[in-house]
Structure 1
Amino acid sequence: MYPISVAEKIIFPIIAIIGIPANFLGIVILSQGKCGLSTCTTRYLVAMAAADLLVIITDPILNYINKYYFPWNFLDLTPSCRVKVVLETAATNCSVWFTVTFSFDRFVAIRCQKLKTKYCTRKTAAVVLATTGILLSVKNIPWYFTMKPDRIINNVQWFCMTKTSVFFDLGWIAFTWFDQILTPLLPFALILLINALTVSHILVTSRVRKGLRTQGKGDNHRDPEMESRRKSMILLFSISGAFILLWSVSVIFFIYIKLKGFIHITVPQHTFQKVGYILRDLNCCTNTFIYVVTQSKFREQIRIALKYPVISIIQRIKKKN
């Protein structure tokens, strides 16, 4: 067993223990619409939390925890295994691309004031998220047909392994290239570009507005518009920054392997790849904690949610007495 496999037996259960309640809490609180965020932003954040929750269910739980702690069950049958592959890749794609769509929405809200009123709406957010989710789900269906049984015992097909044709057939090679560029290389590049454009716009706008307000009303006068943009910027950069940081290992590994043209990887390369998987899944646990740190109203809703069971118990005790 690889040393990284021993670490996986510990790390993935921890990710599941943290990620499931964190994302569920984020979905519940954000869905109430009491965090001071626009309905448009709220829809993106709820969709991101839902996608992250699905990633944790399909990868750390159904994949790694099942493999290490509950081997040889119905989830290891080849048909189930194939479905798991499709669900895992679709959930991961949605998690990544929902982050891209959120970043673009915030970019439009901060930089494109004329387009903001038409694009940054609840209806547009719903259309963008639904279209993205459906297209990514359909795109991942071919993964079901890339797998074959790893073992056949008493005419029962167990586990999955990639068909040899996937590595040599031009159609499958094109599909795998498209899939890997679509996630994570293109989203990684898009988020870097969007953030760079947003930062440049904010710096220019900040200098102009600061100069105008200094001339008209003094240095210490607050600018509500810049305060609002600052809050949006903090939320955007916190989420996209965590994504870039935690996905960077997977992106570096993808570029390195494609440049070298390896089919069979060495033990150090395998370890580096697995670290990328761990960090990728860890990214699905971070957003709720980012909201706690950056959003005061989100923290207030958490306090109310935590107090509610205690208050309910006290009220029931008083009624009985």
Structure 2
Amino acid sequence: MSPQKKHWMVTLQEMTQLTLMLSSANIITFLIIWRRNCMLSKSSTLYLMAISVADSLVLIFIVVLELSVKYHQQEPFWSYEPWCSLRDIFNYGAYNASTWLVVVFTVERFVAIHTWKMKTKICTPRCAAWTITAIFVFSHLFAIPHFWSNTSVYVNNKTRCIYNPEAPSQFIHTLVWFQTLQAYIFPFLIILTLNGLTLHLTSRRKSVVLLVTVSMSFMLLSVTRAITQIILRTTPMYTCDRNDYNLQINIAADTGTMLSLSNAAANMYLYVCTQSKFRQEFLACVRQVRSKHFEELTVTPLWIQAVSVSSLSSRNPRLTP
């Protein structure tokens, strides 16, 4: 598609993808939580580090390898088999892991705040490590059925990866509702319920700001995609051309996707806004990096020092060893 014929939605998505890649600081978040003292429990530290990793995978698989490549190549590598069929396994696997890590973080914090007897068994680094591992494994296992939802076709002198029009409608509906239930409805219900109980029962409101901010931002940024994916996959629109932006549903669906993906790049900024200790450690890291960079720029290179000493020695024999 030439620049003159680009739909404004395509331009907006390209700008959004670039912004997400440039603004994402998940690696910095991971390192700060891991190496600095942010006054978090050990189990919470593991969950937040895992969320950073899962969000990075979402950005890599969906933003970089799928969406960005889509707008820079006529026939991306995932237009061909087996990548066309495998693509959604990695996409949904990463997205599901990111979603359920937020859910278990919400559960873990609720237990830590309200259930002291269970806290010693559940809110431990060992339990957190096993839970995180299980979430990554099962998130990708549950995404395997998507292997049969896409197919590679050659139309209009171009190879494309599209929703499989020959897939049985019962299989597609089952797949869509299963994904919707496990990635949106169940997580939304759990998060809303536990956050509501936490805010109702907890007098120390400041201690739950991070929990509520992370979980509720995930919900608000994901709800549009949840609704549009249900409409696209369970109606006759399933076979429509997803690149045709004359269809309003495509504009709504891609807007929902952009909002949902922005959550994967936003968590560090949520931590900075809500956690004073994290903000202090972040600023300390920035100052440390700047000071080291300044020292590297101001230190005289060894070869210049050697030349200077040699020059002085030639003029003053007493300086010669």
Superposition TM-score, scaled by structure 1 size: 0.82
Residue type at the aligned position of 1:104: V
Aligned-pair CA distance for 1:305: 1.9
Distance in structure 2 (CA, Å) of the matches to 1:139 and 1:103: 22
In structure 2, how many angstroms separate the alpha carbons of the residues matched to 1:151 and 1:261?
Answer: 22
- Give the secondary-structure state (helix, strand or coil) at the position aligned to 1:164: coil
Please give the root-mean-square deviation of Cα atoms over the aligned residues, in Å: 2.6
Correspondence for 2:192: 192
- 1:173-252 correspondence to structure 2 within 5 Å: 173-202=173-202, 206=203, 226=204, 230-252=205-227
1:83 deviates by: 2.5
Residue 84 (structure 1) shift: 2.3
Larger RCO (CA under 8 A, 6+ residues apart): 1
Match of 1:164 in 2: 165
- Residue identity over aligned pairs, in percent, reads 26
Match in the other structure for 2:309: none
CA distance in 2, matches of 1:8, 1:36: 38
Aligned to 1:210: none
8 Å contact 2:20–2:262 — kept in the other structure?
yes
- For residue 98 of structure 1, what is the aligned residue in structure 2? 101
TM value normalised by structure 2: 0.82
Partner residue of 2:287?
307
Provide the C-alpha distance between the structure 1 equivalents of 2:20 and 2:150, rounded to a whole number of angstroms. 27
Deviations 1:54-105 (A, max 9, x none): 1111111111110112333534433223332211111111111111011111
Match of 2:64 in 1: 61
- Give the C-alpha shift of residue 179 in structure 1: 1.6
Residues 262 and 145 from structure 1, CA distance in 2 versus in 1: closer, same or farther, beyond 3 angstroms? closer
Q: Equivalent of 1:281, from 261, 266, 270? A: 261
Q: How many residues align?
A: 291
- Name which one, 1 or 2, has greater alpha-carbon Rg: 2
1:151 equivalent in alignment to 2:154? yes
Q: Which residue of 2 aligns with 1:17?
A: 22
Distance verdict in 2 for CA 1:85–1:127, change over 3 Å:
same
- Counterpart CA distance in 1 for 2:234 and 2:145 is 25
* Cα separation, 1, equivalents of 2:84 and 2:167: 17
Query: SS of the counterpart of 2:152?
Result: strand
1:110 maps to 113
How big is each residue's C-alpha offset from its partner over 1:220-272, in whole Å with a ceiling of 9 and x where there is no partner?
A: xxxxxx3xxx3331011111121121112123335666897764568122211
Q: How does 1:76-95 map to 2 (within 5 A)?
A: 76-95=79-98
**Contact kept in structure 2, 1:31 and 1:42, CA below 8 Å:** yes
CA contact (8 A) 2:36 2:281 kept: no
1:109, distance to aligned residue in structure 2 (A): 1.1
* Pair 1:271 & 2:272 matched: no
How far apart, CA to CA, are the structure 2 residues paired with 1:196 and 1:85?
A: 33
1:49 aligns with 2:52: yes
1:4 aligns with 2:4: no
Counterpart code for 1:237: V
Structure 2: stretches of 5+ with no match in the other structure? 1-5, 241-245, 306-321
8 Å CA contact retained: 1:242, 1:286: no
Q: Deviations over 1:120-146 (max 9, x none)?
A: 111111111111111111111221232
In 2, the alpha carbon distance for the partners of 1:309 and 1:16 equals 21
